[in-house]
Amino acid sequence: MQVFTVKSALRPALSELQSSQKSIGFVPTMGALHDGHLSLVKRSLSVTDFTVVSIFVNPTQFNNASDLSNYPRTLERDLEKLQSLHADNIIIYAPEISDVYGLDVESQSFDFGGLENQMEGKFRPGHFNGVGTIVKFLFDLIQPKVAFFGEKDFQQALIVKKLASIIKNGPVVEIVPIFREQNGLAMSSRNERLTTEQRNEAFVIYESLQRAKKLFESESIASIKEAISAQFQSHALFKLEYFEIADSETLIPATNCEAGKRYRAFIAVFANDIRLIDTISLN
């Protein structure tokens, strides 16, 4: 396992691999690694010769200063977790902000064809320009053949697919299924900040998605949305930010179902100031 903290050292090492025809997989992360992240790394290891894992808490994708400052940073532990995979073909890029942005910590503006305006885009202004900026930087630097993104951030994954299709030499983007705790809670670095009580109770998030999926067989979208909002109205620990049912390709909120289309439910909740998201395919 090799660890790089500056792009000027990473680039030549990758060029050497590429000139000897080695395929490069890429797993971008913000660290505080958990088994969900490791499932992406394992997938990449199984289909490419070398896997680059980036560990970087990207400031421009945070629309909330305290979320950024409270975001867990556990580099030593992250490196140990990756080491425990016993793979000598993992390459880590864990830069400082200046190596990525220089002195200009700003987002570029992107047009993702409207995908960026729904859900996370509505509630986290500027978030997807920040995501686009860092992912484009990393794609240009690493030039992976395949990049792996989690289904948990489904909207992000679609946006990255779009980005990969509009930039030069973009990678194939593969979406990896959500890795969950035993109680169904989607693994997330932010889970580390939950109290034991919140963490134990957080199964209600996934449970509500499963309930929505069941209701989707027989109920209207409006009544499903009402049922899920009602469920959270009385909840002592979790406050619903949004529950949405949308077309799985365009992410446009659905009001009724059309034959032949695929739909997903998306949810965002707050446990105090900790924001958790989850999603499920409905059909």
For ligand AMP, which stretch binds (CB under 6 A), given 8-16, 33-41, 73-81, 260-268? 33-41
Q: Is residue 186 a contact point for ligand AMP (CB under 6 A)?
A: yes
16: part of which helix (H) or strand (E)? helix 7-19
> Which residues, 6 or more positions from 92, have their beta carbon under 8 angstroms from its beta carbon?
1, 2, 3, 4, 52, 53, 54, 55, 79, 82
Strand 50-55 to 172-176 pairing: unpaired
- Residue 37 known to be catalytic: yes
Q: Is residue 277 a contact point for ligand AMP (CB under 6 A)?
A: no
Q: Are 247 and 178 in contact (CB under 8 A)?
A: no
Q: Is residue 36 a contact point for ligand AMP (CB under 6 A)?
A: yes
Q: Is residue 153 a contact point for ligand AMP (CB under 6 A)?
A: yes
Q: Is residue 39 a contact point for ligand AMP (CB under 6 A)?
A: yes
Choosing from 24, 142, 164, 187, the residue that interacts with ligand AMP (CB under 6 A) is 187
The residue from 34, 37, 86, 235 that is catalytic is 37
Q: Is residue 51 a contact point for ligand AMP (CB under 6 A)?
A: no
Q: Is residue 71 a contact point for ligand AMP (CB under 6 A)?
A: no
For ligand AMP, which stretch binds (CB under 6 A), given 15-23, 133-141, 145-153, 247-255? 145-153
Residues in 218-257 at the binding interface with ligand AMP, rule: CB under 6 A: none
Residue linked to tokens 């900790």: 274
Q: Is residue 138 a contact point for ligand AMP (CB under 6 A)?
A: no
Distances, alpha carbon 167 to alpha carbons 56, 102, 117, 152, 158, in Å: 22, 22, 20, 24, 15
Choosing from 130, 150, 170, 171, the residue that interacts with ligand AMP (CB under 6 A) is 150
Q: Are 255 and 223 in contact (CB under 8 A)?
A: no
Strand 146-150 to 90-93 pairing: unpaired
Q: Which residues are catalytic?
A: 37
